[in-house]
Every structure is written in C-alpha cells, then in structure tokens.
Amino acid sequence: MSSFLTLLIGFTCFANVYCNVLREALPVDGTTTVFYVFGSEAIYIVEPENKTVLSTIEAGDLCTPGRGSYCFFGTEILVRNELIFFGDYGGSRVHVIDVRKRKVVETIATEPRPYDLYYLPWLEEVWVHAWFQSTFDVIDVSGNLEKTHKAIKAHITPGWTHGFMVANKEIEDGKVGYVTHFRNPGLHQLDLTTKSYKDFHNISDQGCHGTFYIAYSSLNKHTFVECFRADFILEMDLTKEQVIRKWNFSGKPYASPDGRFIVALYISINRTTNQLLDSKIHVLRISENEPTSILKTFDIPSGVSRLVFDKKAGQQSGYVVYISLHFSDKIAILDLDELESGRDALRYIEGVGFVQTTPYSPATARPLFVSGRWLVSPASANDSVAIIDTSTQKLHGMVPGVVKGRGLLAVSLPPPSSPPSPTAGAEGKLRFNGILTLVMLLAPIILHGR
Ligand SMILES: *[C@@H]1O[C@H](CO)[C@@H](O)[C@H](O)[C@H]1NC(C)=O
Ligand SMILES: *[C@@H]1O[C@H](CO)[C@@H](O)[C@H](O)[C@H]1NC(C)=O
Ligand SMILES: *[C@@H]1O[C@H](CO)[C@@H](O)[C@H](O)[C@H]1NC(C)=O
Ligand SMILES: *[C@@H]1O[C@H](CO)[C@@H](O)[C@H](O)[C@H]1NC(C)=O
Ligand SMILES: *[C@@H]1O[C@H](CO)[C@@H](O)[C@H](O)[C@H]1NC(C)=O
C-alpha cells in the first residue's frame, strides 16, 4: 500500500507543482500578450517572448471548406479584450472564442460568406458583412451575444460583392456607416442607429465604377476611397458627399493612428504567371487645415502585401510602418518622421520566411499584427510565424509548427486576479476529480503489481 500512497502523494504534488509553474509563468505585475494565429488546421495561441505555441484550437468543426477550401478567410476581431469573433466563410456563421477559456463558446448563424467583421464599441455591436449578397447582420454583444438584425442591405441590387465599411464614433456621431461595393459606383450609407439602409452616394461622374478599399483620417476627417480597377484614389468628405481631390495613383490606403499619414500599397501581379509587374508605396501627408500633399512615391521591389503602423519605440510621437512582402523573406520598415525630413527612411528585416504565393489565389496576402513589444507575421510557406522585437526592430525568432497562418490578432490579459472566480473554483474541483479518477484507474495496476 505504501507505493500506492507514494504515487498518490507524488502525483498530487506533481499536479500542484505543475499548476504553480503555470501560474508563475505569468508576470505578476504586468500583462501577458499572446497572439491568436488562424491557420489551415488550427488556431494557434502563440506566446511571443519564448516563441512557443501554448495551445491550439482545432479547425475541424469550426471551418466549412468551400471552393478553394480556405479556413478563416475573413477578418477576426477582439471585443472588450474578452471575446474573439471570426467568420466561417463557407459555413454561414461566426464563432466566438472566450480568451480566458481559450475555446469557442458560441456560434451564431449569419448570411452566407461572412467576410469582414466590425466591432462598434459605442453601440456594443458586432456588424458582420456577408459578401454573398452584400448585406450586414448585427450581433448585440452587451449581453447574451444575440443576433438582432439580419441581411441589412448594402447594395443596389443583391449580389456578389467585395467591400468594406468605415464606421467611427467620430463620423456623424457614430450614426452612419459607409460601405464600398466593387460593382457599385459609389458608397452605401447605413443608419447604424436604426440598423437600416440610408442612401447611396453615386460617384460615377468621377469615373469610378466600383469602390473597394477605404481609409479614414481622424486628422482632416477625410476618407480615402480606392476605386475598383481604376488608377486613382478619391479623397472625400463623406458627410458633405464631396470629392475633395482625385489622386492620380491607386492602391490600398491605410491611415496612421494619428491621422497624419495615408500610406497606400500598390501591387500588380500577372495572375497567370504569378509574375510581379509593379509594386509601389504612396505616402500622403495630412494636416488639419491645409490641403493634403504627396510626400513620396517609391518602388518596393518584392511586392508589397500588407502593412501595420507602430509607435516609435521610446518616443512620444511618430510612427514606423512595417510592410510585408509577397516574394521575399523580408519585412520592410519605413520611418515616417525620417521620410518627412527627407532622409533615407526604408530598411529591411531579413529571414522572416515566405508567404505562399499561388497563381490566381486571393489567399496570398501576408498579414502582420503588432501589440506592445511584439510584431507577429505568419510565414505560410514555411509553416511558421516570424516574431519581431519592435524595441530593437530585429527578428526575435521563428515559431515552427504553425500551418499556413492567414489571419491573426493579439490579446493582452492582466494577471489572474487573486480572489478566485467561481469558474476557477469549478476548474479546481474538476482537476481534483481528474486526479482522483486517475488514481482510481491506476490503483488496481499498482496493487496488482506489488
Ligand atoms: C518564458 O520562459 C521563462 C523561463 O521558463 C519564464 O520565466 C517566463 O515567464 C516566460 N515568459 C512568458 C511571457 O511566458
Ligand atoms: C449613377 O449616376 C450615373 C450618372 O448620373 C447614372 O447613369 C447611374 O444610373 C447612377 N447609378 C445609380 C445606381 O444611382
Ligand atoms: C501625378 O501627379 C503629379 C503632380 O501632382 C505628377 O508629378 C506625377 O507624375 C503624376 N503621376 C502619375 C503616375 O501620373
Ligand atoms: C501575363 O502573362 C501571360 C503569359 O506570359 C501573357 O500572355 C499576358 O499578356 C500577361 N498579362 C499581363 C497583364 O502582363
Ligand atoms: C522558408 O522556406 C524556405 C524554402 O523551403 C527556406 O529556404 C527558408 O530557409 C525558410 N525560412 C525560414 C525563416 O524558415
């Protein structure tokens, strides 16, 4: 019997030590940042500092393969730092992960092809843009995650779209959302309060036959609209339904968080041969009362993919831009202050792995996400993710075993609070039951083996 007791005590100690180790792994005074990377086989929870995959959520039942069989095709959003919403593109539904439980806790049916998701915190709502007919579903996130409205139109006639929404608490008090549609010559306005269709702003007189990517500057309150398959971008005052200026370049515009810059990424690829034809960056300088000016246009040889802004390390103001590349295992870094003062502002971080580039595949973009000290970007062709330390702007390392990462976001959690929550208590009891069960299962073996 003594060996049984030893084992029992030993195992209990092991369980306790294991739990203490887990608890101590979290910095006591700070927060822990983890990245959720959405891959083809699973959602990977990556801890950047030690470059480890902490756990995974299997894609299995969460993902309905459709044509092209892409899992987790659209955008993922974080609500109140508690819940992650993401679409099952082929399955007409969105799933919700509770970041404390690290698992899916809710699934909500939507219109087909849910692609881009928006969290509107001032309304406590998530708006889901379904691309099948260009409509929106609304999920109330203030309580029980209930779908309150479905199929709000964002089109002239129902039908297939690619499009995006700009909605901001600052724009008309957060009461109007503006939606692009790649086959409609303008912007659809949605009434965010009544959750209904409002109006269409027709800009076909500008030579715009469809609208696509869109960015809003919080500084001059202008919106930059890319017209689909056109060679210009429109700077607009949406509230006045006014075109301020037609810029003679194309690309996907991004606004810096302070609204002082618009950076547009332009890439042209021959879809048949997968050959890069052109790759450029255009930078606009925005001021509050002066007209917008072009700061610089330059070529980036390896094909610009996506970008992310990051505050300059150790400084009050100023941003750097990290730009991922299509055909290179580098990430470009552009210092906007340096660029403004006319200095050489472009550098590269090498050895970050490659993104998968398949001819005709829309799934080849390389996303990046920055949170605090860390920037993470999946290298889908290497089945790994690159981690960059933004304080040194150097590669911190690669995390292997992340299969075909496509989308990602970061979650920063405060240290676990000292008074145990009811769930923590329940988990403790479960763990105790688990130990007991294991001991009971082992007991006959141990007793027999003596
Ligand atoms: C990384 O690992 C070290 C050593 O195991 C540990 O002390 C530290 O807390 C870990 N960092 C994070 C963020 O988990
Ligand atoms: C947009 O305006 C053009 C030119 O005035 C017109 O021909 C077209 O029918 C309008 N489209 C819509 C959907 O209002
Ligand atoms: C765009 O316009 C600027 C002048 O505003 C000119 O310098 C530039 O060459 C033009 N670019 C293209 C691609 O036409
Ligand atoms: C793309 O490549 C194919 C095959 O070489 C060629 O026939 C076609 O003209 C190219 N398209 C463009 C836009 O360059
Ligand atoms: C990515 O894969 C390529 C081709 O297999 C290999 O040459 C390269 O070293 C890999 N890079 C990283 C960072 O793992």
Edge-to-edge strand ranges of the sheet holding 125-130:
114-120, 125-130, 135-140, 146-153
Ligand 5 site-directed mutation target among 382, 385, 394, 404, most atoms within 8 Å of CB: 382
- The predicted model gives 251-258 an average pLDDT of 97
Per-residue HEC secondary structure of 158-180 comes to CCCCCCCEECCCCHHHHCEEEEC
Question: Which residue puts its alpha carbon closest to atom 9 of ligand 1?
Answer: 25
Q: Do residues 447 and 12 make contact, with C-beta atoms less than 8 angstroms apart? A: no
Nearest to 305 by CA among 272, 335, 330: 330
Q: What is the phi/psi pair of residue 445, to 5°?
A: -65, -45
Q: Which atom of ligand 4 is nearest to the CA of 277?
A: 14
Query: Does the Cβ of 289 fall within 6 Å of ligand 4?
Result: no
Band of residue 68 on the pLDDT scale cut at 50, 70, 90: low
Q: Which atom of ligand 3 is nearest to the CA of 249?
A: 13
- Please write the tens of the pLDDT for every residue from 288-300: 999 999 999 999 9
Specify the pLDDT at position 99.
Answer: 96
Beta strands in 203-292 (DSSP E): 211-216, 223-227, 233-237, 242-247, 252-255, 261-270, 275-285
Look at 101 and 344; give whichever has higher pLDDT: 101
Look at 115 and 271; give whichever has higher pLDDT: 115
Q: How far is the CA of 249 from the centre of ligand 2 (A)?
A: 24
Token pair 């959750």: residue: 195
Query: Does the Cβ of 351 fall within 6 Å of ligand 5?
Result: yes
Q: Do residues 137 and 151 make contact, with C-beta atoms less than 8 angstroms apart? A: yes
Q: How far is the CA of 198 from the centre of ligand 2 (A)?
A: 17
Q: Do residues 211 and 224 make contact, with C-beta atoms less than 8 angstroms apart? A: no
- The predicted model gives 193-213 an average pLDDT of 98
Nearest to 250 by CA among 286, 222, 225, 223: 225
Q: Indicate the average pLDDT of the chain.
A: 87
Band of residue 344 on the pLDDT scale cut at 50, 70, 90: confident
Burial of 250 (0-12, 13-18, 19+ CB in 10 A): buried
Q: What percent of the chain has pLDDT over 90?
A: 75
Q: How far is the CA of 270 from the centre of ligand 4 (A)?
A: 6
Burial of 369 (0-12, 13-18, 19+ CB in 10 A): buried
Token pair 């860390």: residue: 374
Ligand 3 site-directed mutation target among 235, 246, 248, most atoms within 8 Å of CB: 248
Q: What is the CA radius of gyration of the chain?
A: 25
Q: Do residues 88 and 108 make contact, with C-beta atoms less than 8 angstroms apart? A: no
Q: How far is the CA of 382 from the centre of ligand 5 (A)?
A: 6
Beta strands in 110-259 (DSSP E): 114-120, 125-130, 135-140, 146-153, 165-166, 176-179, 186-191, 196-202, 211-216, 223-227, 233-237, 242-247, 252-255
Q: What is the phi/psi pair of residue 16, to 5°?
A: -65, -45
Ligand 1 site-directed mutation target among 49, 52, 373, 374, most atoms within 8 Å of CB: 49
Asked whether residue 244 carries a pLDDT value surpassing 70, the answer given is yes
- Please write the tens of the pLDDT for every residue from 393-449: 999 999 999 999 999 999 998 776 644 444 433 443 344 443 333 333 333 333 343
In terms of DSSP bridges, do strands 176-179 and 83-88 run parallel, antiparallel, or are they unpaired?
Answer: unpaired
- Please write the tens of the pLDDT for every residue from 33-50: 999 999 999 999 999 999
Q: Which atom of ligand 5 is nearest to the CA of 351?
A: 13
Q: How far is the CA of 33 from the centre of ligand 1 (A)?
A: 12
Q: Which atom of ligand 2 is nearest to the CA of 200?
A: 14
Specify the pLDDT at position 440.
Answer: 38
Nearest to 180 by CA among 228, 141, 252: 228
Residue 295 CA to residue 334 CA, distance in Å, equals: 13
Q: Which atom of ligand 1 is nearest to the CA of 33?
A: 13
Query: Token pair for residue 312?
Result: 């300059």
CA atoms within 13 A on the CB side of 384: 14
- DSSP one-letter string for 330-346: EEEEEEHHHHHTTS--E
Specify the pLDDT at position 414.
Answer: 79
Query: Does the Cβ of 248 fall within 6 Å of ligand 3?
Result: yes
Whole-structure pTM value = 0.86
Residue 303 CA to residue 274 CA, distance in Å, equals: 11
Specify the pLDDT at position 359.
Answer: 67
Q: How far is the CA of 352 from the centre of ligand 5 (A)?
A: 8
- Please write the tens of the pLDDT for every residue from 312-323: 988 888 999 999
Q: Do residues 290 and 304 make contact, with C-beta atoms less than 8 angstroms apart? A: no
Band of residue 362 on the pLDDT scale cut at 50, 70, 90: low
